[in-house]
Amino acid sequence: MKKKTLVPLIVFLLGMCLVGLIVYKTDAIEKEQKRTTAQLNATTYGERIKNEITNGIEITDTLQQILISENGEINYFDTISKNIMSDSIESIQLAPNGVVTDIYPAEGNEAGKIDLLHDKDRGEISCYARDNHTLITQGPFELKQGGYGIAVRNPVYLNDKNGQEYFWGFTIVILRVPDIFSDSINALSDFSYKYKLSKTSSPWSDTYEVVYQSDGTLTNPVSYDFTIGEENWKFEVMPENGWGNTALIAIIIGFFTSIILILSVLIWVWLTSKENKNRFQKLAHMDSLTNIYNRYGFDELAEEMIAKNPNAHYVVALFDIDDFKFINDIYGHVYGDRALKNLADSMKISFPSDALLGRNGGDEFCILLPNRTYDDAKEQLQQFTMLPKIFSYKGNDYPFYISLGYAEYPTAASNRAQLMRCADAALYEVKLHGKNGCMAYKEGLQSGVRKQLGFALKDISEHLPGAFIIYRADKENDELFYANHEFLHMAGYKDIDELFKLTKKSFRNLIREDEQQQIEASIWQQIDNGNENDYIYFHLRKADGTYLSVLDHGRIVENQQYGRVFYVLFMDWADMHIRYSDKFSE
């Protein structure tokens, strides 16, 4: 994975881990704070609920004191009950010997007059209260008048004439739920808390039953425990929205994730910019076609290498492709580029990794070999020059050749620029001596600006005084390579592409069908007899399908790239006949 992608990703992942840690710590602190606050509320309001229930129980204590003071009698029960009655009290009862005889208010409560000690639902717990001298609560249960209630039964004991204690009965109050502790639960609701009030089902049981609770399930609530009589009560509390602060956590996640994303993007932009800068710097120094240094890059690095170790020996070689213009003219620039790329690839294979390889431009290349002398580099450069070099064209391989000159620092030159001029002078000398060779610089070679050597094929062919073509000298494969403008004009072809298309690049297809075998046999007979000066007469096929009477004069030439080829000039037979008949008639 690229650095510009990997680094921002690592930053993002580490950042998200940090966000996770911050969220975890924040959530833990928030939960702890909420639990502390909730515990404080549970304690405060649990104690208030206990007091509110105890206030209801005190009614039974008041009646108990009256019974004790009146020796088991209560006169004016209704009047007394009315005075101590409240909205949260459903009824006040007396149960001498465990049998309910008096109820206030009486209306609607007639069914409450029961024998508590022998009642199937109330007997066991009532007997326990009697036998253990303890106040008991029972419920909640559904009231016939509607709603729910809790029965508080307070056992009363008196002394007889002999001073012996005996069980008188119960003073009873029925508390309305949740009216008895409505102030506390309303306050908790206002503070957005859920709650649940529970009590043990009996003094001897550890099982809790719910007295009253808010809507919804409580998750991991805090609690406050208290005791009334011998029964345990539990008041549980938790925030309505849970222990976590979802809004705060969302804000933290959003805020820090945004920062991390921005930071990651900025790092990616910076790395991308840095990578692009390095790439552009590299592109400024590299040749895009051959992927070796261009002239600017080569000159800069060569200067640095020599300056870094000026006492070392260096050899610079300059070389180019012989007749490269011919390759471009015949095969096109695409195949010329292939030849250049193949040459650069052979450089990479032929020279060690410490060699500096460059392309000066066009078909000219250069090599700097550090820590080399003439003797060290001679064999390697000669082998490279003679190494077969080819490019492919339509399934066939075609060879090409190079000329190379080289010079040594500091033997021949005192600086890089002078060293390059000396190598160029040696290359010029190779060109003057027939090309396809390798030569070291020596004193006396011209080191000035190299002159143009020879002439380009197109310059020559387009100005020949006649129509001109080149084709392969092969009996089986007479491939057309080139035709100048005058030939195309004479034969009616608009350009060389149309010529190649209509003739299928075969010279044979320029000859009238009925003359092909005879003309080809005549051409090769002349060649085999060593006679290259005879003319051949035949009918040349024009672009429009008509024929033109022509004389051709050809010569076989050995070419380094294509082997034996024919160079052929054409003359219009009718035009020659007219012109020369006029001259002879004079």
Phi-psi region of 366 (alpha: psi -120 to 50; beta: other; left: phi over 0): beta
| Nearest CA-CA partner of 457 in 567, 570, 339, 338 | 567
Residues 435 and 461 reside in one and the same domain: no
Which amino acid, 242?
Answer: G
Sign for the pseudo-dihedral over CA of 312, 313, 316, 317: negative
Residues 465 and 434 reside in one and the same domain: no
Instruction: Please count the residues of the chain.
Output: 586
Residue 453: per-residue pLDDT: 47
Residue 585: per-residue pLDDT: 45
d(C-alpha 35, C-alpha 548), whole Å: 111
Please report how many Cα atoms fall inside a 13 Å half-sphere around the Cα of residue 555, on the Cβ side: 6
Report the predicted TM-score, pTM, of the whole model to 2 decimal places.
0.50
d(C-alpha 411, C-alpha 315), whole Å: 10
CB atoms within 10 A of CB 519: 19
d(C-alpha 49, C-alpha 145), whole Å: 24
d(C-alpha 246, C-alpha 251), whole Å: 9
Asked which of 440, 468, 486 is the last residue of a domain, the reply is: 440
Residues 198 and 311 reside in one and the same domain: no
Looking up residue 365, the CATH number of its domain turns out to be 3.30.70.270
Q: Return the structure tokens found at 117.
A: 């000690």
Cβ-proximal residues to 438 (8 Å cutoff; 6+ apart), any chain:
381, 382, 384, 385, 386, 403, 404, 405, 406, 430
d(C-alpha 313, C-alpha 224), whole Å: 94
d(C-alpha 307, C-alpha 295), whole Å: 18
Strands 165-177 vs 89-96: parallel, antiparallel or unpaired: antiparallel
Residues 213 and 322 reside in one and the same domain: no
Residues 102 and 199 reside in one and the same domain: yes
271 lies in some domain: no
449 lies in some domain: no
Instruction: Specify the long-range contacts of residues 492-496, CB closer than 8 Å, at least 24 apart.
Output: 492/542, 492/543, 492/544, 493/543, 494/543
164 lies in some domain: yes
CB atoms within 10 A of CB 89: 19
Looking up residue 191, the CATH number of its domain turns out to be 3.30.450.20
Residues 332 and 463 reside in one and the same domain: no
258 lies in some domain: no
Residues 410 and 463 reside in one and the same domain: no
Q: Are 173 and 89 in contact (CB under 8 A)?
A: yes
Q: Give the number of domains in the chain.
A: 3
Residues 532 and 392 reside in one and the same domain: no
Residues 461 and 538 reside in one and the same domain: yes
188 lies in some domain: yes
Asked which of 171, 205, 239 is the last residue of a domain, the reply is: 239
Residue 579: per-residue pLDDT: 63
Please report how many Cα atoms fall inside a 13 Å half-sphere around the Cα of residue 309, on the Cβ side: 9
- Rounded alpha-carbon distances, angstroms, from residue 372 to 46, 309, 316, 511, 548: 98, 13, 9, 59, 64
d(C-alpha 124, C-alpha 129), whole Å: 9
Q: Return the structure tokens found at 145.
A: 């008048």
CA angle 310, 313, 317 (to 5 degrees): 115
Residues 72 and 111 reside in one and the same domain: yes
Look at the block and give the residue holding tokens 């199937």: 120
331 lies in some domain: yes
Q: Are 45 and 152 in contact (CB under 8 A)?
A: no
Residues 362 and 473 reside in one and the same domain: no
Residue 244: per-residue pLDDT: 84
Q: Are 139 and 53 in contact (CB under 8 A)?
A: no
Residue 115: per-residue pLDDT: 94
Asked which of 440, 474, 503 is the last residue of a domain, the reply is: 440
Please report how many Cα atoms fall inside a 13 Å half-sphere around the Cα of residue 503, on the Cβ side: 29
256 lies in some domain: no
Domain with 145 in it: 32-239
- Reading the chain (586 residues) residue by residue, the pLDDT tens digits are 577 788 888 888 998 899 899 988 998 998 999 999 999 999 999 999 999 999 989 999 999 999 988 888 888 899 999 999 998 999 999 999 999 999 999 887 777 789 999 999 999 999 999 999 999 999 899 988 788 999 999 999 999 888 899 999 999 999 999 999 999 999 999 999 999 999 999 999 999 999 999 998 999 999 999 999 889 999 999 999 899 888 888 898 999 899 999 998 888 888 888 777 766 666 678 888 999 999 999 999 999 999 999 999 999 999 999 988 888 877 888 888 999 999 999 999 999 999 999 999 889 999 999 999 999 999 999 999 999 999 888 888 889 999 999 999 999 899 999 999 999 999 988 887 778 899 999 887 765 445 444 555 656 666 667 888 999 888 889 999 888 888 999 999 998 889 999 999 999 999 999 999 998 888 888 777 766 556 888 999 999 999 999 988 888 887 766 778 888 889 888 877 666 555 444 4
Look at the block and give the residue holding tokens 């492709």: 321
265 lies in some domain: no
d(C-alpha 249, C-alpha 247), whole Å: 6
| Nearest CA-CA partner of 572 in 554, 547, 543, 549 | 549
Residues 428 and 461 reside in one and the same domain: no
d(C-alpha 152, C-alpha 536), whole Å: 142
